[in-house]
Chains A and B, each alone.
Chain A
Amino acid sequence: MMDSDLSPQDKKDLDKFIKFFALKTVQVIVQARLGEKVCTRSLSSPTGSDWFNLAIKDIPEVTHEAKKALSGQLPGIGRSMCVEISLKTSEGDSMELETWCLEMNEKCDKDIKVSYTVYNRLSLLLKSLLAITRVTPAYKLSRKQGHDYVILYRIYFGEVQLTGLGEGFQTVRVGVVGTPIGTITLSCAYRTNLAFMSTRQFERTAPIMGIIIDHFVERPFGNMGHMRPCNYRAPGEDEGAYNGVEDSQEVCTTSFSTSPPSQLFLSFLLFSLFLTFTLSLPLLFFLSQLYCSRLSYQPPVLVGAADFCHPSTLNAANPHQVTTQMGIPGKEGGVPQQVPVQPCHGAQAEHGRVSSCPPADHVPATPSSSGEGAETLSRSIEVKGVSPCDVLETTFTRKVGAFVNKPGTQVTTASLDLPFAAFAPRAYDLEENDPMVQPPESPATSSPLQGSLHSQGSGESGGPAQDDFVMVDFKPAFSKDDLLPMDLGTFYREFQNPPQLASLTIDVSSQSMAEDLDSLPEKLAVYEKNIDEFDAFVDTLQ
């Protein structure tokens, strides 16, 4: 170590450069895995706040996670900072995709100028990182993340672990910068074998040894952070700091496609119908109000409740992206069972594979954003005074024809005899909502809660609403899904159950008939007034 040759000012500058370089490195990597294009503006005049003369915005949560992982230390010899990028599917399978390593070795460059050369070379290295992050295989996967899978990140400090990348992983070196105290190297190790090795049971049974491999189970490092999704953005103060990117994102169009939210809402519909048989209506009413804050199918602890309580923070301009993160039973035809859990800080112990939730100081920033984010779901679910930390854990259980054989009389009796019927919106009048009796309707407007169970519920996959059997997987013949962005099966599932025409619904027609009858005398009066005009018109036709 040649610290003694460095002036105190140079040492101080170098430490600062390394610290901010590490933070910016994490930002570049995570932002490149957000799933959308990044765009920042060039500024001819320096702002004084853009490190390395590059416009790289700071996502506060990412900075917070990075600082937490560093714990006041700096990357140095034997102390590497790593950013692990993983993929997690809607079925619970996870896979580590790549690990970015910021390391330092002992090779020193004593003669290099810290304040000029090192700084400029670090800037060059960040540019190289920007370029390389778009080239590794995980970039394309992250651009397509959505209802099938999400991309998560984890920052840790210490020894590099590459065992999760599978056999045959490749390494690409982004670059090196020599400094008087060592040579900084930035590299990426990425997986080449993308075949899944684990099949996770839906029920929480113990994994069968030797078959199921879950890399979240063992955490040999004490200061490992929990996995975070790469597709959120914090609200509040971050919105101010992130304005540049947000503005530029208005210019840069996103290429993300909407998910089939109808899948989720039909699942909610089915689950709610199930609950009316087993639970009292007040509890059902309470539970329905909790749905609104859920953003991802993942258990909240994996991402920190504060993150998933911010539907507004999702980067895509397309609000439907919010729903892509929610649990979708999808191909398995399973019915998600929304189970309320304790607020985020209590949920930590549940899984054992993630560490702490975000600190409490994040929580106050959320209510406004959850309210704002709820607007993206407002068509279907209304948010009323929901605590952002009241997230729900989704588990998936296979159900076969769950609501096929329920007796109609029981449904009718249940809806009439309920002691708290006044609290129950019309959505829970099961006979009307029974898809076996009446096909799903287009969104109703009389009550938001009712809307939540009707809207967009008509087109979805799985089709248990109208079939006697559950479609486990749908593979249409002669359809290749590797060439087209949306395969035939997905298209079929999405548009399998179109909403019924409004003009054909009984309520609408009965309402309009009453209105029509009332307005008849007026119309007749108008026609009598204009009778001369009509006669003239008839004459022209002859």
Chain B
Amino acid sequence: MNCRSEALEVSVEGRQVDEAMLALLHTILLHRSTGKFHYKKEGTYSIGTVGTQDIDCDFIDFSFVRVSSDELDRAIRKAVGEFKDAMGNGMDGMGQISLEFYQKKKSRWPFSDECIPWEVWSIKVNVVNLANEQERQICREKVGEKLGEKVINIVEVINRHEYLPKMPTQSEVDNVFDTSLKDVQPYLYKITFQITDTLGSSVSTTMRRLIKDTLAL
């Protein structure tokens, strides 16, 4: 099975990075989260209810819908915050944040479980610096329009109804879904990022993240 890969690109001002990333990541996760599974006898299960919440951006003329889950929101904000810190404050730069959905495959001892990605969303971010308030106001509207286009792109990809992991049995649900949250159940995901200032540092950042994520499993 090949991993499906989608790329998005946005140009934003420094203070818009957080909200732009949150908007896109939450839009993707809205489509990749279900209610909590409750397994019953005979292999049947029922699914909880996913609530939604409108979020208005402060620095972008844009609103988006996210899953009503504070835990999920905190996790995404933490990752986006780390990405923004890595990008630096007030500096021009480029970076890429990736949201990867994967399945776990049990391996025999001494090997650890394998993570097999089935969908990767890569969001390339160009950070620009603006000179005056007039430009910032124009940027605010333009970035809002761009994010709208990206949301349409995301929806278009999602609705192709391409590969999705099969609904797991109770014993295997943790291999497909992140069951750690109380209220919703997104597919297993991880967020990585890399900053493109020099080739060397971007590679080291990526390697560090990969090792960290592997050990976390």
Contact = CB atoms under 8 A, between A and B. Distances in A.
Interface of A: 37-47, 50, 53-55, 116, 121, 124-125, 127-128, 130-132, 134-135, 139-140, 143, 172-177, 248, 252, 255, 483
Contacts of A116: 167
Nearest to A45: B48
Interface in B35-55: 35-36, 38, 46-55
B208 interface: no
Interface stretch (B78-86, B153-161, B194-202): B153-161
A-side interface mostly: mixed
A128 B158 contact: yes
A252 B68 CA distance: 11
Contact of A46 (B48, B161, B167, B183): B48
Contacts of A255: 56
A43 B49 contact: yes
A316 to B, nearest CB: 14
Interface centre among B46, B53, B167 (most CB of A within 10 A): B53
B50 A55 contact: yes
Top 4 closest A-B pairs, CB basis? Answer: A175-B159, A37-B54, A40-B51, A42-B51
Contacts of A50: 49
Interface string B47-69: 11111111110000101110111
Contact of A132 (B38, B50, B51, B155): B155
B114 to A, nearest CB: 26
B63 A55 contact: no
B161 A121 contact: yes
Interface in B1-53: 27, 30-31, 34-36, 38, 46-53
A41 B167 CA distance: 24
B154 to A, nearest CB: 8
A42 B31 contact: no
A44 B36 CA distance: 5
Contacts of B52: 38-40, 54-55, 127, 130
B152 interface: yes
A42 B53 CA distance: 10
30 contacts: A39-B51, A40-B51, A40-B53, A42-B49, A42-B67, A42-B68, A44-B35, A44-B48, A46-B38, A46-B48, A50-B49, A53-B34, A54-B49, A55-B51, A55-B52, A124-B161, A125-B159, A127-B31, A128-B158, A130-B30, A131-B65, A134-B64, A134-B151, A140-B61, A143-B63, A175-B155, A175-B158, A248-B68, A252-B54, A483-B137
Contacts of B53: 37-40, 248, 252
B89 to A, nearest CB: 26
A130 B31 CA distance: 10
A37 B56 contact: yes
B151 to A, nearest CB: 5
Contacts of A252: 53-54
A26 to B, nearest CB: 16
B-side interface mostly: mixed
Contacts of A139: 63
B184 interface: yes
A131 B69 contact: no
Nearest to B31: A127
Contacts of B51: 39-43, 55, 248
Nearest to B164: A120
Contacts of A130: 30, 52, 65
B90 to A, nearest CB: 24
A42 B35 contact: yes
Given A47-B49, A174-B159, A175-B155, A134 B54 contact: yes
Contact of A54 (B27, B36, B46, B50): B50
A53 B65 contact: no
B105 interface: no
A172 B151 CA distance: 11
A313 to B, nearest CB: 20
Contacts of A172: 152
Nearest to B47: A53
Given A42-B49, A252-B54, 18 more contacts: A37-B56, A40-B53, A42-B48, A42-B51, A42-B183, A44-B182, A45-B38, A46-B48, A53-B49, A55-B49, A55-B51, A128-B158, A130-B30, A131-B65, A134-B54, A134-B151, A173-B159, A174-B155
Contact of B35 (A39, A43, A127, A174): A43
A116 to B, nearest CB: 8
Contacts of A45: 36, 38, 48
Contacts of B95: none
Contacts of B117: none
Contacts of A47: 49
A441 B66 CA distance: 48
B148 interface: yes
Interface centre among A131, A140, A176 (most CB of B within 10 A): A131
A140 B36 CA distance: 33
A502 to B, nearest CB: 39
Contact of B49 (A46, A128, A134): A46
Interface in B97-152: 137, 148, 151-152
A177 B161 CA distance: 9
A135 B148 CA distance: 5
Nearest to B61: A140
Contacts of B158: 124, 128, 175
Contacts of B152: 132, 135, 172
